[in-house]
Amino acid sequence: MVDQNLVIKIAVLAVYVGILFLIGILASRKIKGMSDYYVGGKKMGFWAVAFSARATGESGWLLIGLTGMGAIAGYSAYWVVLGELLGVFISWQFMAKRFKKRSDAFGAITIPDYLQSHFKTSTHTLRIIAASVLVVFIVIYVASQIDVTGVAFESMLGINYKLGALIGFFIVLAYIFFGGFVAAVWSDFFQGLLMFFGLVLLPIVVWFSMDHGAGITAGLNAIDPTLTNIMGRSSDGWMNLFTILGFSMIGLGFLGSPQVYVRFMSIKNKKEIDKGKWVACIFTLLTDTAAVTIGILARIYFTTNGQDPEAVLGNNGEDVLSMITESFLPTILVALFIAIVLSAIMSTIDSLLILASSAITRDFYQKIFRPDIKDENLTKFSRASTIIMAFSALVIALIMNYVSPDRQIFWVIIFGWSGIAATFCPVIILTLFWKGYSEKGAIASMISGFVAVMLFNFVFKEIETIGAYFVAVDVLFPSFLVSMLVGLLVSKLYPPRKEALEMIEQIDNK
């Protein structure tokens, strides 16, 4: 007998996928050259850019990771909301316009383009390092997102993990193959709308559907009083400090991550940035708060005093969203939430694949090996490199599933996110705000950030006496500090070239 609920879910997903394909086909008509494929010809409006930047920046982490964190950590998970909101606000308010002005003056369409032009470098060293790091961490990040796609299909639809991963993979590959950056941004806008309304409305529906008891605080206290401690759940004050830093410093990743900043390159003009800022901030505040709140409500509804929450809610609470939607929503809305989860994942995959493709096509092939080739002749190569990066990530995702079936998938996502952020965010910040920053300093920042992520993740976390503190703070914050400090020191030893300083001065004074 056919399961009617499954039929409804698949039908809703089919409509969702159909819309994505339509976006890809429409976007393909606007692709005339490489600038269109990678930055939409720099003609994108603020609504599309703001929603795309936020959807790309959040990924499946928002819907499955942050809801789970709310369930496991309680009130202290709201530090993530504060950290991300500050990161998004600072990025749009103080960095976006300056970055847009300079990248336009340079004619840059990739982050390595921007860096190469900013320092007026005479060699390709900086471009090679930047593009190489991008490709490495993006492939890891995309692999983790494909992994989450398989998990989402398995947990929410009962479809085999591998089949689910393949379905999601081919959906996203198809629409970006044809439509490039324009398809990614338009689909992100559509998917961002789904994420926004789904997340904001769900905790309201759950709250009015469940037995409130004495309220949220009393409900959490009845399960475990430490859940209502905003300053952390440990009796060790230092552990609480490191945990709060780990939660709040996730927002550092919005201060220069290439997948977000390439959207500032694509926006029509600086006036659109002022409008987009409020859209991005409101999106972040409401969706992040809603995600944590969903987790807290799930903790109250599904667990009792003395229970292991991960035994009920999955590793790191990753089953929270599927459990709460199945319990409180009709089948058709459950199906819509499956589409929303896939939206969060795919909006990140598409952007990252475009970014990795640009590193291969623009920064390696064109700028280093074929400087004579024109932009309009590279569209086919761009699509081919997108496919190669995508299949590389797919292979890694399937290997991860085979080698480590009990992996905690969202810490793999955070590792990829942290690797990109720690390598590039200090570099972008220092290029925008410190004229004493040099090419050698930027190279040192990127290398030290890259190495620090590896060391903090694979070495410091394993040290018996202090490892637990580094697990709590995670890798982004300490790696970010290392990258920033090394860049400052090396730039003091090897100052920037005079002609580079004069060029930046001229651009800023226009």
- pLDDT tens-place string over residues 192-241: 888 888 899 999 999 888 776 568 899 899 999 999 999 988 889 899 99
Q: Who's near 171: CB < 8 A, 6+ residues apart?
A: 17, 20, 346
pLDDT at 98 over 90: yes
| Domain annotation for the chain: domains and CATH numbers | 4-505 (1.20.1730.10)
pLDDT at 446 over 80: yes
- pLDDT tens-place string over residues 149-190: 887 777 777 778 888 888 877 877 776 665 555 666 677 777
Between 389 and 94, where is the model more confident?
94
pTM, two decimal places:
0.87
As given in the structure block, the two tokens for residue 198 are: 């789904």
Mean pLDDT of the chain: 84
- pLDDT tens-place string over residues 394-412: 888 888 777 776 666 666 6
Short-list 289, 83, 332, CA closest to 201: 289
pLDDT at 441 over 60: yes
pLDDT at 375: 63
Highest mean pLDDT among 5-9, 82-86, 262-266: 82-86
pLDDT at 410: 60
Pick the range with the lowest mean pLDDT from 74-88, 124-138, 142-156, 451-465. 142-156
Contacts 24+ apart (CB under 8 A), 129-134: 129/443, 129/446, 129/447, 130/359, 130/363, 130/424, 130/446, 131/359, 131/360, 131/363, 131/364, 132/359, 133/419, 133/420, 133/423, 133/424, 133/446, 133/450, 134/258, 134/355, 134/356, 134/359, 134/420, 134/424
